[in-house]
Amino acid sequence: MTDLADRVRDIVADHAALEGPLLPILHAVQAEWGHVPEAAVPVIAEALNLSRAEVYGVVTFYHDFRERPAGQHVLKLCRAEACQAQGGAGIAKLAQARLGIGWHETTPDGRVTLEPVYCLGLCACGPSAMVGDQVIGRMDREKLETLIEGLRA
Ligand code: FES
């Protein structure tokens, strides 16, 4: 019995009384390890009497769950309507080109993970972005270039 399996069983036990415990369990597992480790899937499946495929299906369906640890910085770009109407698509394209990665991917040096997000509550100041806890409005090409440069430094 591994430490990881023991800890996952504890997490499952903590949520066992909930109706529909799978999502809260997966969130708790991700909060602990920063992603949902592959080895946690069979432990959760067994504890909830589900198949591994069912648990894995939920992990891969919801983009909030990571199968691998995120990079050192997570850059989120708003893909919701108001930001798209203010040039969000061009900003996203530029970010992907500069980082050389797509959505949900991490640069090979492990510095930056790029994630889409659907509204950061800053719609009037779009396009919006977020790095860590910091929300950034009125993103433009120049600001993005500077931001990415800083994240990769
Ligand atoms: Fe982008 Fe609301 S639509 S912050």
In a domain, 68, yes or no: no
**pLDDT tens readout for residues 84-143:** 999 999 999 999 999 999 998 999 999 999 999 999 999 999 999 999 889 999 999 999
User: Could you say which DSSP state residue 124 is in?
Assistant: G
In a domain, 66, yes or no: no
Range of the domain at 122: 73-152
**Reduced DSSP (H G I as helix, E B as strand, rest coil) percent helix, strand, coil of the chain, to 5:** 50, 15, 35
Q: Provide the number of structural domains found in the chain.
A: 2
Question: Which of the listed residues 14, 31, 61 is the one where a domain comes to its end?
Answer: 61
3-state secondary structure of 73: strand
User: Quick check: CB of 128 below 6 Å from ligand 1?
Assistant: yes
**Token pair of 151, please?**
């994240």
In a domain, 67, yes or no: no
- Asked if the ipTM is above 0.90, the reply is yes
- Is there a single domain that holds both residue 25 and residue 92? no
- Is there a single domain that holds both residue 41 and residue 88? no
| CA 31–ligand 1 middle distance (angstroms) | 25
| CA 89–ligand 1 middle distance (angstroms) | 12
